[in-house]
Amino acid sequence: MAGEDLGTQARDAAYTAVGFGVLAFQRLQVRRRELVQQVGGREGVARFVRQVEGAVDPVLDGVEQRLPGQARTAVHRARLAGKTVERALLR
């Protein structure tokens, strides 16, 4: 009986986590649309992103170069993932 309760609780927790993830994604989409309107459409957002990247990327490049092997690889992959998310959001 206790095993069934634990399984049920785990399933409910998983459903809740997925639900919160969906809600968070929807809120992000709404916020993205609001931001697009505030900064002058998609072109304005893209221009803003390029400005931020121009300031941040050189700093992150320097940090990444100073990291040891596995940490450097992890940071590099995280930055690539961030660029992928950025491109998806700017579509």
Number of domains in the chain: 2
Judgement on whether residues 46 and 34 belong to the same structural domain of the protein: no
Q: Which residue has the higher pLDDT, 4 or 46?
A: 46
Contact 53, 90 (CB under 8 A): no
Hunting for tokens 């959001």 — which residue is that?
89
Give 68's DSSP letter.
-
Contact 67, 73 (CB under 8 A): no
Q: Name the amino acid, one letter, at 4.
A: E
Judgement on whether residues 57 and 87 belong to the same structural domain of the protein: yes
* pTM for this predicted structure: 0.52
Judgement on whether residues 55 and 86 belong to the same structural domain of the protein: yes
Domain range for 21 is 1-38
Judgement on whether residues 46 and 25 belong to the same structural domain of the protein: no
**Which of 35-39, 56-60, 71-75 is least confident?**
35-39
